[in-house]
Amino acid sequence: MKNCILSLLLILSYSTSFSQTTVQGGIYNNTTWTLANSPYTITGPVVVFPGKTLTIEPGVQLLINNQASNTIYIEARGTINCIGTSQLPIKIRTLYDTTNVGWQGFVCTNSQGGVINSNYFDIANAYFPFGYESVPNSLNYTNCKFRHCNQAITVGTNVILNNCQLINNEVGIYGWTYFTLNNCLFKDNTTSIYAYASAFVMSNCEFIDNQIGVAFQANAVDSIVIHDCEFLNNELALNYPNNGKVYNCLFSDNTSALKAANDCEIYNNQFINNELALEATVKAEIHNNQINNNLGGVLISNVVNVQESPSIYDNEICNNSNYSVNNNTNMNYSLLENCFCGLDSSAIELSIIDGYDDISKGLINYDVYDVTCSNITKTVLKFSDQGPASSDELASLSSIQVFPNPFQNEITIQSNSKINHLQLFSLEGRLILELKNLDTTIQMLNFQELEKGIYTLIINQSIFKQLNN
């Protein structure tokens, strides 16, 4: 029995032994770093000279000894082949302080014929994991990981990522032109993607716990298409999507989920538990989304003329704490065919911030649905057309007095300027009373037979007051 135990211990000791190889300096002949001699400890800069090739076998581990210096790099003036497999990725990291940048990374000196072929790797702690004098026309990575780097990927013309992970980097992807991303994870980055995109296509990606998920810095020349992605617990999940589509995505627990949608179709998404769910700007088309249980639902902003107004329809906008819709422009919007999940228009009114709350803002028309969000029970019209409200006309609200309000039988309207046209609408949008060509500054109205309720008074076709009976 004792002999059997001794034999087992010897076998375990033998199986856990491994080789270690220390390297630095110039590579003047074709060289292979083998799995059998892994791990390789890099103690100083390594340079592959022109016309020579360094091949790093799948499964090899490179350990950067950054204790003495953080200026170590591996330079290709010749060719470096750093290609693992999905089962045997090449792993590269620092020996010390493995959560911070500790070496320069691979350097490709294109001007001397340098070439780096890389894929199926896990690289960490590099300032630029793969730095180029001139970035290749296409970077194509599959099953790769970039961790704790300063700027993980720099795009020159085209980048294609499949099943990659970018974790804890200062910047995940930075660059220009064409982006194609599938099934990737972006987590704990300061900025995951900082893009000047000519075209951008992304599907089935996750953005979790980043300060910034995706930030577009300019208008896309071709289009931006983002679908079937998840944005969870980011400070800013998606900024300035433009000239394209965002659909079938989940935005949850972000500080700002989707900001500055510009000339972009946003549809079939879920916005849940965000501080701000969605900001709609110039020519955005927002439809068939679920925008529920956020602090702020839809913010309309940065629109200066009615021709550039966003279209917002067929959304479910419910149970948002601070507001469902905040009109941060001076234009009117008919947000009909959106369900606010309430049968009481006065409760819905409390969730809408518009010219009733601040005369610098435009007004919002809306529908009231049944509990299934299937059938419209009433329509609330605060203005009679869909043109922009004049700032001067909105400002003149402060010079018009309507009293008493609430009223019983009579109201008095008193204005510093002439009153020419009066209209009274029910909460459902039915015209109750219309008076034209008044040419007066004081007008008394008698409503002895008017049913109790909430009414909209339109003065001179564009000045609005809400009345309660």
**What is the band of 35 on the pLDDT scale with cuts at 50, 70, 90?**
very high
171: nearest Cα among 228, 121, 226, 214 = 214
pLDDT of residue 325: 98
Q: SS3 of 220, please?
A: coil
**In sequence order, which residues have a C-beta less than 8 Å from that of residue 151 and are 6 or more positions away?**
127, 128, 169, 170, 171, 174
Answer whether residue 94 shows pLDDT above 50. yes
Confidence band for 427, pLDDT divided at 50, 70 and 90: low
CA angle 14, 19, 21 (to 5 degrees): 170
Q: Which CATH number fits domain 398-468: 3.30.470.10, 2.60.40.3080, 1.10.340.30, 3.30.70.20?
A: 2.60.40.3080
List the one residue out of 361, 429, 422 whose CA is nearest residue 393. 361
Q: Supply the pLDDT for residue 10.
A: 28
Cα–Cα distance, 238 to 260 (Å, whole number)? 9
Provide the residue type at 405 as one letter. Answer: N
254, 275 in Cβ contact below 8 A? Answer: yes
User: What's the whole-number average pLDDT of the chain?
Assistant: 89
Model confidence pLDDT, tens digit, residues 259-281: 999 999 999 999 999 999 999 99
Strands (E), 254-375: 256-267, 270-272, 276-280, 285-287, 290-292, 296-300, 311-313, 316-318, 323-327, 333-335, 352-353, 364-369
Give me the phi and psi of 346, to 5 degrees please. -65, -35
Q: H-helix or E-strand containing 10?
A: helix 2-15
Which tens digits make up the pLDDT trace of 147-181? 999 999 999 889 999 999 999 999 999 998 899 99
Helices (H) and strands (E) in the chain, counts: 3, 47
pLDDT at 405 over 80: no
Distance from C-alpha of 338 to C-alpha of 317, rounded to nearest angstrom: 7
The residue type of 439 is D
pLDDT at 16: 33
Amino acid at 248: N
Domain ranges in the chain are 15-134, 398-468
Token reading at 452:
């109790």
Copy the structure tokens of residue 404. Answer: 């008493």
For residue 391, pLDDT beyond 70: no
Whether 396 has a pLDDT exceeding 80, the answer reads no
Whole-model pTM: value is 0.81
Weakest-pLDDT range from 92-96, 133-137, 388-392: 388-392
Structure tokens at 37: 């001699």
CA–CA separation, 453 vs 430, rounded Å?
Answer: 13
Least reliable range by pLDDT among 108-112, 328-332, 341-345: 341-345
Least confident of 91-100, 291-300, 432-441: 432-441
CB 274 within 8 A of CB 255: yes
**DSSP 8-state symbol, 111:** G
